[in-house]
């Protein structure tokens, strides 16, 4: 099992067990790629402000797995969300993103090509 497959397997299990958490991604192609792999509870930013998305998620979830791309834009979003989400009472998880970064993948929307 390659590194990406192992992370996807763990992320799928996490999404099945932690229904009170969401996996936050940048856009609809990221959502599509993860859903293709059977990963649920995926939410896209959809161009919403950081505070709007944090407020929406905090209404019925307790945590967020951050899965932003590894380009400059994705890194900026990731850094801002790490600061903002806790102010809405949300826990953040960066474990899966850190593991994926080590595999060399650059864009979350490409994750299904690494696995299938």
| pLDDT value for 1 | 45
Q: Is the CB of residue 70 less than 8 Å from the CB of residue 106?
A: yes
- pLDDT for position 43: 96
What does the alpha-carbon distance between residue 9 and residue 2 come to, in Å, rounded to a whole number?
11
If one compares 92 and 3, the residue with the highest pLDDT of the two is 92
Give the pLDDT score at 16. 94
The model's pTM: 0.94
Name 49's Cβ contacts closer than 8 Å, sequence gap at least 6. none
Pairwise CA distance, residues 41 & 58, whole Å:
14
Per residue in 20-79, pLDDT tens? 999 999 999 999 999 999 999 999 998 899 999 999 999 999 999 999 999 999 999 999
Nearest to 65 by CA among 13, 24, 108: 24
The pLDDT tens digits for 77-89 are: 999 999 999 999 9
**3-class secondary structure, 81:** helix
Q: Which of 40, 48, 35, 36 is nearest to 13 (CA)?
A: 40
Q: Supply 25's token pair.
A: 């991604």
User: Domain locations in the chain?
Assistant: 3-115
Assess if CATH 3.40.1360.10 describes domain 3-115.
yes
């Amino acid at each position: 099992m390659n590194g990406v497959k192992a992370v996807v397997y763990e992320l799928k299990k996490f999404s099945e067990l932690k229904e009170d958490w969401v996996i936050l991604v940048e856009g609809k192609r990221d959502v599509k790629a993860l859903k293709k792999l059977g990963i649920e509870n995926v939410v896209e930013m959809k161009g919403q402000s950081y505070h709007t998305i944090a407020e929406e998620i905090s209404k019925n979830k307790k945590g967020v797995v951050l899965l932003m791309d590894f380009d400059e834009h994705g890194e900026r979003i990731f850094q801002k969300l790490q600061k903002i989400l806790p102010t809405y009472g949300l826990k953040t998880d960066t474990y899966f993103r850190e593991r994926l970064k080590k595999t060399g993948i650059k864009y979350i929307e490409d994750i299904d090509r690494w696995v299938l």
